[in-house]
Chains A and B, each alone.
Chain A
Amino acid sequence: MATTAEQRLFGKSIKRREDPRFITGQGHYTDDLKLAGMTYAAFVRSPHAHARIRSLDTARAVKHPGVVAVFTGKDMTGVNSLPCGWLLPELKVPPHMPLVSDVARHVGDPVAVVIAESQDAALDAAELVAVDWEVLPSVTGTEKASAKGSPPLHAVAPDNVAFKWQIGDAAATEAAFKTAAMVVGKRIINQRLVANAMEPRACVARYEDATGDLTLWVTSQNPHVHRLLMTAFVLNIPEHKVRVIAPDVGGGFGSKIFLYNEETVCSWATRKIKRPIRWTSTRREAFQTDAHGRDHVTDAEIAMDKDGKILALRVKTIANMGAYLSTFAPAVPTYLYATLLNGCYTIGAIHADVTGVFTNTTAVDAYRGAGRPEAAYLIERMIDAGAAALKLDPADVRKRNFIPKFNTPYQTPVALAYDSGDYLPSFNRLLAMLDYKKFRAEQAEARKQGRLLGVGFSTYIEACSIAPSKVVGQLGAQAGLYESGQVRVHPTGKVTVYTGSHSHGQGHETTFAQLAADELSIPMDDIEIVHGDTGTVAFGMGTYGSRSAAVGGTAIHMSINKIKEKGKKIAAHLLEASPGDIEYANGQFQVKGFPGKAVPFAQVALTAYVPHKYPEGLEPGLDETSFYDPSNFTFPFGAHACVVEVLRETGEVKILRYLAVDDVGNVISPMIVDGMVHGGIAQGVAQALWESAVYDDASGQLVTGTMMDYALPKADMLPMYETDRTVTPSPVNPLGIKGAGETGTIAATPAVMNAVVDALSPLGVDHIESMPLTPERVWKTIQAAGKGK
């Protein structure tokens, strides 16, 4: 049965096709893979934050029963540094070798790999590798990194400064500040986080001597990027002889974008030992080596007129890059951060100054939101601070500053031009869901009883559909950011769609099938989605930055259009009509307006492969590939609110309600978008209340190095979320999709912080510098406020 227009699958919540394998334990994650002749790798890592290797002795490890080989950095001759894929002007790019052979620069920096017949033998032997360490002074604190006397990490950056970068108009900003009725400045610390995808990173590398083929199964959000970086830049092995497969991947949140030391070492070592090697990170290794996120120290000032209209914003940020520059790290605190400082407001002038610094910590790169959460947190906190200083309602101040509805690009003072936006309706919807007036009345009543109730808003914006290649090229990206989509129609009319996007929880096997089934008006069951394999999928850039539906989906849409165009020629020939008179409707090619004069999709497919009665000059086959390079970013937005009660005696923060109205443009599956919003909110709330990666200042040790010490949210720490949506289609892509993967994370942190500050405002609190808002921190804030009075 053909699907009618009323039965559109685009926009429907359909149970996921990937779920049956996951709920029955039949997923195929990298660590599940077992190959004949498999060996197992264990890495020897630096226990110190900064230490020189005086000597490294592998003799005992080599002799350990079951050990196949032990390699150190010195063995890896002809191997280059792991590359940094985003170059800012005058960026200091230090070498980042897969195995360190001179100086280890953070706890967990790998110095050797032991490969053995069993995982246990590898781990036992790794302990027998003797390293004589000369411990060096270390620096981990963001502000301390380039302070006088701090130990330098790299010869290329003696002051530990990786880059100094700025955006916006400093003079215009200064001028606006001079005319302002009100200026408020705050220090804002956006603490370091660890992504903690539930599946630890893993790889299996297999080299086949007879053919020279290398296959790498790896927990990757972008297998083609992994292959390109590894072959072209690090190992100098031919790209076409390498196949990278990212099978089922258990969450990424950014942390699985990057090329890491371990898969590079295993891919190199398998060529030496000519046996497959498996490595799976322990959680402890994950804390020490997965790219971290955030870690900014910022001084921000906002200038407003007496009515709360924002005149200007001035920002000075120090961003901690960690010990090395991870794959896309320099983009995160610059182009993905400061370009979003405009929020969804009309702001006359903005100037931002960002300094990236090296420290003896794990490298920092994109973590869900990547720069945008830091920007949203800053502007949403500052608008509340400004409103408080003027004694104005934060909801009113937001409304006063919203950019009015627009469908043509809105140019901000910080480079970006927003695609489309209509910010008031989502905020109004949120206020209605909250029953804002009623809440304020309840709050006033509660305050009379000494209870500390608060509400916090976050009317955020973010940039998705990453990204127009030409634009990012000008900004320093060493890659294009298009996506591929191939639609292969088989002779029987069944369809395989190959996408360069990668699903590690996003549900593409369902949503892309919905998209294709919808456009082709054929059953979803006739469509298979293939992703995550460089051996079968056209070169693609992968999944991050909420780009899959907007960019990857559009590439599929383009290929479907090509299929339809070719199909029209075939059908026209069969119907003895002109191709211009053929339309595609309800799963058949028909003469316009004459559904009775038609050829079904499957018959056209068969004709394409059995071209007996066939148009002259037309190639057989029905298989089209497209690469979509977006003309602009898309800009999802929305309004979130958090209602909290702070317990005065203990400093505990209780979330009473969490509400979200998001606008992510058109939605393929409401169920999946809701799910992503929920998960994003959980991560954003967790930054505000619980999570923080902490280094000991003196030793440089990662204190929060396990799940015992790093407070990931549990089920009983979070509420049910009240969600809704408005729909403002993006004019950038033909699907009208903006992107939904990161909204919750971006929006939630400031909503919670603003709620807690609102709750504590009767005590005179108008800002809290640091997160997370642990009971201890909140209690101390309450005590300090009490003393101040």
Chain B
Amino acid sequence: MKLPVKMTINGQSYSHEVEARLLLVHYIREQIGLTGTHVGCDTSQCGACTISMNGQAVKSCTLFAVQADGATITTIEGLAKNGDLHPIQMGFWEKHGLQCGFCTPGMIMAAQQLLERYPTPTEDQIRHQLEGNLCRCTGYHNIVKAIQWASEQMAGKK
């Protein structure tokens, strides 16, 4: 049985009929074609699928698409505005916060929530808030630095 879903993703409205069991991440990747949101595990550990849904960082592998009916979603593709990178994106680039790049979209989306909660986070706060996102390349050192850099930039803009 298929169910109707409507949602706004990166400012654009979408409506589809989807199977009830379709995961939100697969809807975003396969149906919408936004492949920046990744799938790295099947137990909700890795966080590569993290998106922003109604202002909350969520793992899109742990939601059905139908649960996002009516939601406003931002994925990694929607973070830069008018071609200007978000300070977190710039931070990851500036501080070499990525190597293979696979965890990066989820990391950046999680970091966005982190900096909303803690605009000037301590190192411990950054590390704790990133518990739900795994990176196998960087050992997290430069991810922490990237987020610190972004925090400073964002504070400077206020």
What is the interface of chain A, defined by CB distance below 8 A to chain B? 13, 15-16, 18-27, 29, 31-32, 34, 119-120, 196-200, 248-251, 253, 280, 282-284, 504-507, 671-672, 674-676, 678-683, 706-708, 712-716, 718, 720-721, 744
Q: Which of the 9-residue segments B1-9, B63-71, B135-143 touches chain A?
A: B135-143
Task: Determine which of B108, B130, B139 lies in contact with A679 in the assembled complex, contact meaning CB atoms within 8 Å.
Answer: B139
> Which residues on B sit within 8 Å (CB–CB) of A713?
139-140
B96 and A20: CB pair below 8 A?
no
A-contact bits for B29-73, CB 8 A (1 contact / 0 none): 110011111111111011010000000000000000000000000
Closest 7 CB pairs of A and B: A25-B36, A250-B102, A22-B101, A682-B139, A505-B100, A25-B76, A505-B99
- The dominant DSSP class at the B interface is loop
B138 and A678: CB pair below 8 A?
yes
Measured between C-beta atoms, what is the minimum distance from A217 to chain B in Å? 13
B136 and A197: CB pair below 8 A?
yes
B96 and A283: CB pair below 8 A?
no
B76 and A24: CB pair below 8 A?
yes
A24 CA to B88 CA, complexed, in Å: 11
A678 CA to B137 CA, complexed, in Å: 8
A25 and B103: CB pair below 8 A?
no
A285 CA to B148 CA, complexed, in Å: 36
A19 and B139: CB pair below 8 A?
no
A-contact bits for B120-158, CB 8 A (1 contact / 0 none): 000110111011011111111111100000000000000
B136 and A16: CB pair below 8 A?
no
> Which residues on A sit within 8 Å (CB–CB) of B108?
23
Q: How many residues of B contact A (CB 8 A)?
A: 59
A716 and B34: CB pair below 8 A?
no
A718 and B101: CB pair below 8 A?
no
What is the interface of chain B, defined by CB distance below 8 A to chain A? 19, 21-22, 26, 29-30, 33-43, 45-46, 48, 75-77, 79-80, 85, 89, 92-94, 96, 98-105, 108, 123-124, 126-128, 130-131, 133-144
Residue of A whose beta carbon sits closest to that of B124:
A716
Residue of B whose beta carbon sits closest to that of A506:
B99
A249 CA to B137 CA, complexed, in Å: 12
A198 and B103: CB pair below 8 A?
yes
7 CB < 8 A contacts A-B: A23-B89, A29-B38, A198-B103, A199-B40, A199-B102, A672-B96, A715-B131
The answer to whether A198 and B48 touch (CB under 8 A), given A283-B42, A505-B100, is: yes
A32 CA to B36 CA, complexed, in Å: 8
A671 and B96: CB pair below 8 A?
yes
A715 and B126: CB pair below 8 A?
yes
A584 CA to B32 CA, complexed, in Å: 52
A19 and B98: CB pair below 8 A?
yes
A504 CA to B137 CA, complexed, in Å: 10
A679 and B93: CB pair below 8 A?
no
B144 and A715: CB pair below 8 A?
yes
A251 and B77: CB pair below 8 A?
no
> Which residues on B sit within 8 Å (CB–CB) of A720?
123, 141, 144
A681 and B139: CB pair below 8 A?
yes
A626 CA to B147 CA, complexed, in Å: 42
Measured between C-beta atoms, what is the minimum distance from A373 to chain B in Å? 16
B41 and A706: CB pair below 8 A?
yes
A401 CA to B85 CA, complexed, in Å: 53
A753 CA to B158 CA, complexed, in Å: 47
A283 and B136: CB pair below 8 A?
no
Residue of B whose beta carbon sits closest to that of A720:
B141
Measured between C-beta atoms, what is the minimum distance from A472 to chain B in Å? 27
A706 and B77: CB pair below 8 A?
no
A34 CA to B22 CA, complexed, in Å: 18
Measured between C-beta atoms, what is the minimum distance from B73 to chain A in Å? 13
Residue of B whose beta carbon sits closest to that of A18:
B101
B127 and A23: CB pair below 8 A?
no
Task: Determine which of B33, B35, B100 lies in contact with A197 in the assembled complex, contact meaning CB atoms within 8 Å.
Answer: B100
> Which residues on A sit within 8 Å (CB–CB) of B123?
720
- Among A20, A27, A715, A718, which residue has the most Cβ atoms of chain B within 10 A? A715
- Among A23, A197, A675, which residue has the most Cβ atoms of chain B within 10 A? A23
> Which residues on A sit within 8 Å (CB–CB) of B40?
198-200, 250, 283
A199 and B38: CB pair below 8 A?
yes
A757 CA to B97 CA, complexed, in Å: 33
A19 CA to B97 CA, complexed, in Å: 9
- Among A20, A22, A504, A744, which residue has the most Cβ atoms of chain B within 10 A? A22
Measured between C-beta atoms, what is the minimum distance from A509 to chain B in Å? 11
A716 CA to B93 CA, complexed, in Å: 22
